[in-house]
Structure formats: C-alpha cells, structure tokens
Structure 1
Amino acid sequence: MKREFKGSAMLNPVPLALITSKDLDTDKTNVFTVGWIGTACTKPPMLSIAIRPERYSYELIKKSGELVVNLPSDNLVKAVDFCGVRSGREIDKIENFNLTLKGSTKISTPYIDECPVALECSVRDIIPLGTHDLFLVDVLCSHVNENIIDEKGKIHFENANLLHYCHGEYYPMVNKSIGSFGYSVRKKKKSKNKPNKKTNKK
C-alpha cells in the first residue's frame, strides 16, 4: 500500500556538486552547493542546474556566463553542507575550508582540486521556472583524478567516494555494482573451450 502526497519535487537521491563561479568585479571565486543538477544532453554535452535567483552565485554566473561543476568526495561533506547554507556575500568559503583552486583551461573560473572530478561549463540559456531558474550549460572540458582512471582509460566514479543527497541527508556512493547498462538483455558469451569429439576407431 502507498500513501499519496501532494505534488512535490520528490526525486531522491540526487547528486551533489560544489559550483565555483567568479566575481568579475573583484576577481574572487565563490563556491556554493547544488543538489538540483543533472545531465540534459550528451551531444552536445550539456547539464541542467536549478538555482534560486536570490543566491549570490546566481548573480555571478549570470554575469560571467560560466561556472565549474566540482563533484565532491565524502571527505568534503562538511564543506558541502556549509557551502549550501552560508552565503558568499558574508564569508569567503574557499578560504574558510582552505580549498585549493586550480586554473581552468577553457574558462576563467577555477576548479577545486580536492574534488576528484571538475567540469568546466559555459551558460547556454537561463529559463525562469518559479522558485528556481534553470541554467542549461555546455560542458567544455573535464578534469578527472588519475587515481580513478584504469589502464584502459575507463573512469571509475565508484572509487571517487562521491556524495549524494537524499531527503535532507548526505550519503556516500557505494562502490559495488549490482548490474551494468544493458545487462538484462545481454546475450551470454559462448564458451571458447569446445568439448573434444570422440572418434571411433575400427
């Protein structure tokens, strides 16, 4: 039996990201936490990010037209929470948590080196929705820690200890898979070792 609730954004869990943006007037970098973020398109690579217009970062991103999506690991959970509840108008959150900024290659906004994955983005469009505006951003390039890339070049996000958010709580990503894309319809591989045929000698 299920209980019915009124319409609400009850999509859980969601990924967490630390978004860096640059104040063009002061040249300072700000960071804030978002949970309403997702993949919007693969070609061209595009993300959707919902941001409240009253957020300090909203002003910076709208003016500069760029941002970096930094994916934090579980050791940054305190910074993730803090950056979601404190405003950059009041405190320098980068300095407060001693986060290391590294220069991006496609945009002027730096990324956070402590995050295992960082995606440089430019703003394509801003769509007013209600409490939030939807930012559609193009992913220009990405930076990934070498220690989660295997010898074949595959990125193992499960080894990055990434965080996700679920109904007011933070959880680490598990690193054991229970399936892979398409496994439910994948044909089983035939054994290469065929049994030897017995020959009858007369």
Structure 2
Amino acid sequence: MSKLNFKGSVMLNPAPVVLVTSKSLSGKINIFTVAWISTVCTKEPIIAMGIRPERLSYKYITESNECVINLPTTSMVKIVDYCGVVSGKKEDKIKHFNLELNKGVKVDTPSLEKSPIALECKVQSITPLGTHDLFLFKVLNVKIDENLLDSKNKICFDKANLICYSHGEYYGLTSKSLGSFGYSIKKKSKRK
C-alpha cells in the first residue's frame, strides 16, 4: 500500500461530536458543538476537550467552572451543525431550536432533554496550547435515558443512535458490533 506524507495535522478521525451546554454567572445558557473531545482517565473519570478562547462557551465555562456534555443522536444532526457554526454571541441557539432543558443534578448547568446521555462536569484544569486551550473535566454525574437500559440495567449505547464527526462530515453509528472488548483473546470453550 502506497502512502503519501502530509505536514503534521490533526487527522484523528472519526471523532465523537457533542453538544456542550454552559451557564454564565448571570444565568444565561449557551450551547455549542465540540468534536475535539476524548476520555483520558476512568478513575477519576476525566474528559479532555479543546476550546477556542474566543468562544462564548469558553467564557461561560471559565466563569462557572462547569458544563454539561450532551451526546446527540442522528435526529439532532441539524442542531449539532448549527450550534457549531452560529455563535451564541449573535443568537440564542436554545431558543432558536426551542430546546427543552433538564435541571442539573451535581452542577447548576442544565442538560438537553433531547439528548439521551448527558455528562455533568466540573473543570479540573485549563492548559493554554495555541489556537485552543485544553480543558480537563471531572465527570460528576451521568444522566442516561432509561430506554437505553436492558433488563439487567446494562447501558445499550447501540440503541442511542449516536453520531460522530469525520473530516467535515457527520455519520450515524451502526448498531452492529464488530466485536466486544477482549474478544480477540478469549478462548473457545470446549464442548463436552
């Protein structure tokens, strides 16, 4: 296979895409789209996110020291795109889409009722990097739509119809699994 070389660039694709709600000290709520986000630690649960300092949500998050990460579904793709290109400085995007908010449990910032999964977060640290600052968020609480739980209370993410972002395009995630964690080393049971 022949490969071409490109200058150093951020080409980690596909990426999760999320809608982040934030709240100013004066009580204004904003929502914006983020695709530069990743899990970086499980204990304590920490998520990393890159945010440009000129974004309105940057201001709100640094003021309140919190946010909510809402996982969007395929039916929310227009909202995801719109909230990624329209500034909250110019328009109230929550009002534009008539989005219903859900009161926070561990934070004062609300989540999106329409989102099946919402992670309530507190800022752990902020590191300036260049065009973006790196935020580390500690996840304090996760809200899960009860329709995503099976009879054993296992979360079935495949039922959520979540989306991802890849090089300027949005994609739905298939519900068909390619394998489960550890499947490549599991021993086949001997038949008796």
TM-score (norm 1): 0.93
Secondary structure, in 3 states, of the residue corresponding to 1:120? Answer: strand
Secondary structure, in 3 states, of the residue corresponding to 2:141? Answer: strand
Alignment map for 1:46-195 (pairs within 5 Å): 46-191=46-191, 194=192
Secondary structure, in 3 states, of the residue corresponding to 2:82? Answer: helix
Aligned to 2:19: 18
Aligned to 1:5: 6
Deviation at 1:189, TM superposition (A): 2.1
Secondary structure, in 3 states, of the residue corresponding to 1:43? Answer: coil
Q: Percent sequence identity over matched residues?
A: 55
Aligned to 1:30: 30
Deviation at 1:148, TM superposition (A): 1.1
Deviation at 1:116, TM superposition (A): 0.6
Secondary structure, in 3 states, of the residue corresponding to 1:107? Answer: coil
Deviations 1:182-202 (A, max 9, x none): 1010111233xx3xxxxxxxx
Secondary structure, in 3 states, of the residue corresponding to 2:95? Answer: helix
Provide the alpha-carbon RMSD of the alignment: 0.7
**Structure 1 residue runs of 4+, over 6 Å off?**
none
Q: Distance in 1 between matches of 2:188 and 2:130?
A: 49
Q: Which runs of 5+ in 2 are unaligned?
A: none
Q: Distance in 2 between matches of 1:59 and 1:52?
A: 10
Deviations 1:52-98 (A, max 9, x none): 01101001001100000000001000000000001111111001111
- Letter aligned with residue 5 of structure 2: E
Aligned to 1:197: none
Q: Distance in 1 between matches of 2:190 and 2:130?
A: 55
Secondary structure, in 3 states, of the residue corresponding to 1:53? Answer: coil
Q: Distance in 1 between matches of 2:140 and 2:187?
A: 36
Q: Distance in 2 between matches of 1:189 and 1:30?
A: 53
Secondary structure, in 3 states, of the residue corresponding to 1:180? Answer: coil
Secondary structure, in 3 states, of the residue corresponding to 1:5? Answer: coil
Deviation at 1:141, TM superposition (A): 0.6
Secondary structure, in 3 states, of the residue corresponding to 2:89? Answer: coil
Deviations 1:19-50 (A, max 9, x none): 0000112x121000000001010000010010
Structure number, greater radius of gyration? 1
